[in-house]
A = this chain, B = another copy of it.
Amino acid sequence: MEKLKVAVAGLGRIGKIHLKNLCRNFPEIEVLAVMDVFDESEAIAREFNIPVFVKDFDELLAVSGVDAVVICSPTDTHADYVVKAAKAGKNIFCEKPLDLSLSRVLEVLKIVDESGVRLMMGFNRRFDPEFKRIRQLVEDGSVGDVHIVKITSRDPAPPPVSYIKVSGGLFLDMTIHDFDMARYISGKQVKEVFAKGTVMVDPEIGKAGDIDTAVITLTFEDDTMAIIDNSRKAVYGYDQRLEVFGNKGMAIAENNFPNNHKLYTHAGVSGDLPLHFFLERYEASYNQEVREFIDALVSGGDMPVDGKDGLLSIAIGLAAKKSMEEGRPVKVNEILG
């Protein structure tokens, strides 16, 4: 079988993970070219024996034979790159979010749609073994009808304030994953959002116009609910838990740990902290999402996360922002228009 030819744009933290996975774990793939604006990234390309390294996205698209592009560049480039790739007829894997502006997202999705190329959004947590197992327990009926979804999502430490300023805010930068998770796990659409946020971690975050601690209530179209709680700083590390309660049972996904040891001493029973952050915690998910992207490309089946999923998470995020600002629940349709 002929190998699928891929190009990768952006060699930051996530870009490097995808590149490594593509090169080492997918014999059916060939990475033809990588692009990054920094000269230093050329060394990475060389390490993985990638024949072409460029610094411009147009040049990347111009490399002969590319079937699909994997876009891991900064958020503010996503929309442009997706549009260019779509117009060039390349299938696309794009990290979330597509853009922070809803109108731009709608515009981009229209272009993608018209182009006929296929687009997958990189909501990697859907591919995490813990959460996938919970989803499966919902799908196979073990949990029954879903009444309540609970998501805890806390980071070990906030990003630099400089990043926060351009992040789109906590709801679009961090909670967006949880909005997608609430939809994925329940299989339901979100109707209304009520969000409360505050600054407890670092006043500088507040000065930058953002919050660092939040609690969000989502109401699904059938009036069942999800609750999400976020913090930019859990001193004990990355806290990623999920619970689904239904009329037949409850399924819980606990945190993942580097090992399961317990130490009993006169001082108590203790164990190690959870896996530190997303690179460790979601390592398997990054590989699995690329696996399913490729499978969908090859099989022609549905993309496991598509442009509409990307759009809806952004709309929920914008509703959360508005809810917090106006102190009232906000319908997602107010945002989508």
A interface vs B, CB < 8 Å? 24-25, 27, 47, 129-130, 133-134, 137, 142-145, 147-148, 150, 152, 154, 194, 196, 198, 200-201, 213, 215, 217, 219, 223-225, 227, 229, 231, 233-237, 239, 245, 247-256, 258-273, 327-329
Residue of A25, A213, A260, A266 ringed by the most chain B CB atoms within 10 A: A260
Residues of B within 8 A of A253 (CB): 259-261
CB distance from A215 to the nearest CB of B (A): 4
Contact assessment for B201 and A247 in the assembled complex, using a CB-CB cutoff below 8 Å: yes
Q: A213-B147, A329-B194, A329-B328 are in contact. Are A137 and B263 (CB under 8 A)?
A: yes
Q: Is the CB of B263 within 8 A of A273?
A: no
A145 contact set on B, CB distance < 8 A: 200
B residues less than 8 Å from A134 (CB atoms):
261
Q: State how many copies of this chain the complex holds.
A: 4
A130 partner residues in chain B, CB cutoff 8 A: 259-261
Please determine whether B269 and A148 come into contact, CB atoms closer than 8 angstroms. Answer: no
Q: Would you give the shortest CB distance from A60 to chain B, in whole angstroms?
A: 25
Q: Is the CB of A268 within 8 A of B265?
A: no
Q: Are B231 and A148 in contact (CB under 8 A)?
A: yes
How many whole Å from A275's CB to the nearest CB in chain B?
Answer: 11
Known: A245-B231, A250-B264, A260-B130. A217 touches B215 (CB 8 A): yes
Q: A198-B223, A215-B217, A235-B266 are in contact. Are A256 and B260 (CB under 8 A)?
A: yes
**In the bound complex, do residue B231 and residue A249 qualify as a contact, i.e. CB atoms below 8 Å apart?**
no
Q: Establish whether residues A215 and B239, one from each chain, have CB atoms under 8 Å apart when the complex forms.
A: no
Given contacts A252-B262, A263-B250, A328-B329, contact A213 B224 (CB under 8 A): yes
Give A107 Cβ to nearest chain B Cβ, in Å: 33
A262 vs B133: C-alpha distance in the bound complex, in angstroms? 10
* Apart from A248-B266, A268-B271, A269-B272, 14 more pairs, CB < 8 Å: A133-B259, A144-B235, A147-B213, A147-B231, A150-B229, A227-B227, A235-B248, A250-B264, A251-B261, A251-B263, A251-B264, A255-B260, A264-B273, A269-B271
**Which of A27, A47, A196, A269 has the largest number of chain B CB atoms within 10 A?**
A269
**What separation, in Å, do the CA atoms of A254 and B247 have in the docked complex?**
21
Complex formed: what's the CA distance from A327 to B194 in Å? 10
**Chain B residues whose C-beta falls within 8 Å of the C-beta of A129 in the assembled complex:** 258-259
Contact B270 A268 (CB under 8 A): yes
B236 close to A266 (CB less than 8 A): yes
Whole-angstrom distance between the alpha carbons of A263 and B270 in the complex?
Answer: 9
Find the B residue at minimum CB distance from A225: B215
Knowing A47-B27, A142-B265, A270-B269, say if A154 contacts B198 (CB, 8 Å).
no
A144 to B235, CA, bound (A): 11
